[in-house]
Amino acid sequence: MPPRVLVIGAGFSGLSVATSLAHKGYDVTIVEKNEMPGGRARTFQAEGFTFDMGPSWYWMPDVFETYFARFNKKPADYYDLVRLDPSYKVVFGPAEAVDLPANLDELKSLFDSIEPGSGKQLTEFLRQAAYKYDVGIHNFVWKPSRSVSEFMSLKLLYDVTRLDVFQSFASHARKFFSHPRLLQLIEFPILFLGATPQNTPAMYSLMNYAEMALGTWYPMGGMYKIIEGMVALAKEKGVKILLGQTVEQIETTNRLAKRVRTDKGIFEADVVVGSADYNHIETALVDPANRNYDDAYWAKRVMAPSSLLFYLGVNKRIPKLEHHNLFFDEDFGLHAQEIYETPKWPSKPLFYASAPSKTDSSVAPEGSENLFLLIPVAPDLTDDEATREHYYDLIMQRLENYVGESVRDCVVYKRSYAHRDFKNDYNAFRGNAYGLANTLLQTAILKPSLKNKKVHNMFYTGQLTVPGPGVPPSLISGLVVADEVAKEYPVA
């Protein structure tokens, strides 16, 4: 009999590890607490609208290609991918906005129009970022990070010195650009990495390369099409996916996880992989003596932001918006400070507006607009309806000021989502949305380990372990953990 693997959680990393192990010959079962696979990337329908609940940016297409290629497949086998042009819009005020073109030459011209000579600087900035992307995404993030010896090769040490690990992103960006608008464009991806640009390693300029050179894409029908494709592939490989199964306990004997108990039954296992929230598994599902980390360790972790989200169905088309819109009409520094340094509900938040119906008519009724609004906020805040409504009115006023007409009067469907929902739906530690912050002291071997140090056959995957948060890293995390399981518990 092949080894039995029980995976907890059917998000990106859970589906990834399960499919990879089934492909290698394991008997794999996923148990998922929600009634739909996908984790934070679930979907729902209301009033004729189809809403993606979480991830909305499709970056790093090569990682998705690598994932499906592991199984002799390609993304096009499961969904129709289109490149967005413009990639996104940045709104600096009611009368000031720029569209970021997909074409690099046009992008350089845009930079030159804002700061003469910066087009050439962008070329050099992206050249260096391309190197970081090549080393970081194609080598560094594939390390299981279980030992410092993994990083001791002379070539890798040479590569690390060129990754600008010990230089801040802020200082690196200012070597190339000085205009505040350009710095905002360059630094915006950092807002979701979990620290200010001053405290984020310059290595993460690789995100700019992913965004500007590799492009911003969209799977027609919505981001959930990726999950549907992954689920179809997992089932093709023989993975059993059991939904509505809340895990209550991981039973261990002689330092081995033997059974996983859910509210619906008991599952025998030879290997257990936790793709659910790492902290939740540690604090609620295993015996205290079998935890990798104590409460003091978790209390010191620096978290990436949580989010306040609004899903809106609007019964008219909204002018002046693109598929992706960043509202940078307030102070970036103040908002970042109120997320990371003095955590509190932001006084003047930046926000993001996605209107996928600009690209995809299937996600909204004819003549209507599907609108997804997101405010990055500090984790672990007190979350109540009055606070949500305050921020809804605040950002909708700014949205209306930009588009030049009323939108709130035309909202026919509205749903909000924030900290308490992340906790209820995903057992999210401190109500986080994006996992651990990508700080220097939470990189590689300094992240929570993918292997339980006390329970020999128990592993972890997902955004709270290596390589980190985001959809592409979660896909990679699952593949990395599957390879580690195969090394230690090979199929006979």
Mean pLDDT across the stretch 318-345? 94
Question: Radius of gyration (Cα) for the chain, nearest Å?
Answer: 22
> Is 194 a residue whose pLDDT tops 90?
no
State the pLDDT at residue 291.
98
Paired sense of beta strands 43-46 and 49-52, if any = antiparallel
CA distance linking residue 292 with residue 146, whole number of Å? 13
**DSSP symbol at 303:** B
Q: What is the mean pLDDT of residues 118-132?
A: 97
Rounded average pLDDT over 320-338: 94
Kindly state the average pLDDT of the residues 43-55. 98
> Tokens 């992706």 sit at which residue?
324
Q: Hey, how many other C-beta atoms are within 10 angstroms of the C-beta on 285? A: 21
- Cβ contact 252:455 at 8 Å: yes
| Position 240, amino acid | K
Q: What is the mean pLDDT of the chain?
A: 96
Residue 188, pLDDT > 90, answer no
The pLDDT score that the predictor gives to residue 299 is: 96
pLDDT band at 8 (very low <50, low <70, confident <90, very high): very high
Nearest alpha-carbon partner for 262 in 276, 270, 254, 253: 276
DSSP for 213-258, written as a single string: II--EEETT-THHHHHHHHHHHHHTT-EEEES--EEEEEEETTEEE
pLDDT mean over 190-206: 84
Q: What's the rounded mean pLDDT across residues 61-85?
A: 98
Pairing outcome for strands 4-8 and 271-274 = parallel
Q: Is the pLDDT of residue 286 over 80?
A: yes
pLDDT for the residue 156: 67
If you count DSSP H runs as helices and E runs as strands, how many of each does the chain have, helices first? 15, 19
Q: What b/e readout covers 430-462, taking b as 16+ CB neighbours within 10 angstroms?
A: bbbbbbbbbbeebbbeebbbbbbeebebbbbbb
Span 197-211, average pLDDT: 92
- pLDDT band at 154; cut points 50, 70, 90: low
DSSP 61-88: HHHHHHHHHTTT--GGGT--EEE-SSSE
Burial class (CB within 10 angstroms; exposed 0-12, middle 13-18, buried 19+) of 354: buried
Q: 457 pLDDT band (50/70/90 cuts)?
A: very high
What distance in Å separates the CA atoms of residue 314 and residue 9, rounded to the nearest whole number?
33
